[in-house]
Amino acid sequence: MTTLDETDLEILRLLVEDARRPYSDIADHVGRSAPTVSDRIDRLRELGVVQRFTVDLDRSTFSDGIEVLVDLDVRPDENAGLDSRLAAADWVEHVIATADGRLLAVATARPDRIRTLLAETIDLERVDSYRVQLIEQRRWSPSIGDATLALECVECGNPVTGDGVSSELDGQRYHFCCPTCQSRFEERYETLSESA
């Protein structure tokens, strides 16, 4: 499957509404069987369209601080790894890296602990400045829209069409536009793996 048909898009819309929706309920909505829905979701996961199923917590119900937006101005060329370290912190819920070198983090913390938490999480020497703002309200409303699948061949960069092929190497799935690109990539991968 290298394209998303209307059934795939409807399955994605239903999962966005409620990721815990039973496959039998999704099957009723899309006019397919539950095993077919399960197979389609498995393929969507293999393609990387569906990466994980998550829980959206209302952090205001916890007593470990208040919800804040931390806006960091990162020095040019200093962002490498900062976003990952922030995202891995227990007190951070979401991280957004912008093209202009800013990191935005939605976090829950006591205001008097934010500088300490930042210093424990990232190298503040790489940050020009930061601002902390209280979040009064936020909404998350993901949508599928008129999505089309845009896989790119990892070997040559061409779009992966209906003739595309995939390989799984060391638990990672790779997509190719043709068997020739797949073969070249796998040979190089094997050579590099043997020399490592």
Specify whether the CB–CB gap between 105 and 70 falls below 8 A. Answer: yes
Confidence of residue 27 (pLDDT cuts 50, 70, 90): very high
**Interval 103-111 mean pLDDT:** 89
Residue appearing with tokens 């990539």:
185
pLDDT value at residue 39:
93
The strand pairing partners of 181, in sequence order, are none
Average pLDDT, the chain: 85
Residue 105 CA to residue 73 CA, distance in Å, equals 12
**Interval 40-44 mean pLDDT:** 90
The answer, yes or no, to whether residue 41 has pLDDT greater than 90, is yes
**Interval 55-78 mean pLDDT:** 77
Choose between 155 and 48: higher pLDDT: 155
The answer, yes or no, to whether residue 57 has pLDDT greater than 70, is no
Q: CA torsion, points 177, 178, 183, 185, in degrees to nearest 10?
A: -10
pLDDT value at residue 1:
44
Residue 189 CA to residue 169 CA, distance in Å, equals 9
Task: For each of the domains in the chain, give its residue range(s) and CATH number, in order of start.
Answer: 1-53 (1.10.10.10), 59-134 (3.30.70.920), 150-196 (2.30.170)
Of 89-98, 110-119, 187-196, where does mean pLDDT reach its minimum? Answer: 187-196
The answer, yes or no, to whether residue 100 has pLDDT greater than 90, is no
**Interval 144-162 mean pLDDT:** 78
The answer, yes or no, to whether residue 153 has pLDDT greater than 70, is yes
pLDDT value at residue 16:
87
pLDDT value at residue 195:
80
Instruction: Report percent pLDDT > 90 for the chain.
Output: 31
pTM: 0.55
pLDDT value at residue 147:
65
pLDDT value at residue 58:
67
Phi-psi label, residue 165: left if phi above 0, alpha if psi -120 to 50, beta otherwise: beta
